[in-house]
Structure 1
Amino acid sequence: MAVYQKMLVAIDLTEEAPVVLDKAAEISKAHGAQITLVHVVEPVGYAYGGDIPMDLTELQDQLDKAAREQLQKYGEKYGIPADNQVVLVGRPESEIHRLAKEYGTDLIVVGSHGRKGLQLLLGSTANGVLHGAVCDVLAVRIEN
């Protein structure tokens, strides 16, 4: 069995995040692994195809601030220090891969919805993280 020392736990800040965090905490405790908690905020322009004739900086800043506050709450609840809480802006799969390489991560933990079909099996973000990851990936099943 692999021994994990550095875990990257990617959460989406929904009510389902504790399911992922509970599993990650269990693995961390068993292995003595350090957890880095990450949330990736997608750029607001992505939702609109990037062709918006207005400045979305303030909205993006508000989303970033809200994400940092929520991540801090989860960090406090699960004993994850502020230095190990990361909020990034970008495409979730790409940013999670980049951070995993940068931190020398042994295991990435993400949530997965149990839907049908190949991409639906994991969900688009979990599927994207799985493909191209440089380490093990655990997709924690989220019950619908």
Structure 2
Amino acid sequence: MASYKRILVGLDLSEESSQVLEKAGELGKAFDADLSLVHVIEPLTFAYGGDIPMDLSEVQEQLQTQAKEQLRKAADQLNVPAERQHVVLGQPATEIHRLAEEQEADLIVIGSHGRHGLALLLGSTANGVLHGAGCDVLAVRVNVESK
């Protein structure tokens, strides 16, 4: 079995993130590995294609501030220090790959909703991360009903 020393945990900060965090914490303890957390925010201009006639920078800053606070709370559960908590702007799979390489992660842990059919074909963050990662990827099947 592989031994992991640096684990990057991608969180979407939804209620189901606690399940991903729990699994990552177990792995971190089992392997005595350093955990890093990342949440990627897609720039609002990506989502709206620049078609909105207003400056979205203030809204974007508020989203980043809220995400940093939520990530800090998640990190506190596993004693992940501030220097290993990352809120970044960009396309999620791309940014997770970049950070994993930068941190020399040997495992990426992400949540997966287990979509089927058309939703799976259109792609998900988990699928995007899996198909471009330079290290192992663990997709934690999250159960939407559990809390």
Sort the TM-score into its range (normalised by shorter chain).
Answer: over 0.9
Summarize the Cα distance change of 1:16–1:102 in structure 2 as closer, same or farther, 3 Å threshold.
same
Q: Residue type of the partner of 1:18?
A: S
Aligned to 2:80: 80
* 1:1-144 equivalence runs, <5 A: 1-117=1-117, 120=120, 124-144=124-144
Q: TM-score, normalised by structure 1?
A: 0.94
d(CA) in 2 for partners of 1:89, 1:27: 27
5+ residue gaps in structure 1?
none
Alignment coverage as a number of residue pairs: 143
Report the alpha carbon displacement of residue 26 of structure 1 after superposing the two structures with TM.
0.4
Q: What per-residue deviation string (whole Å, max 9, x for no partner) do you get for residues 76-109 of structure 1?
A: 1221111110000000000000001111010000
Identity over the aligned pairs, expressed in percent?
Answer: 60
Structure of higher RCO (CA pairs closer than 8 Å, 6+ residues apart) = 2
| Distance (Å, rounded) in 2 between the aligned partners of 1:88 and 1:2 | 29
Aligned-CA RMSD value: 1.4
**1:47 to partner: Cα distance:** 1.5
Query: TM-score when scaled to structure 2?
Result: 0.92
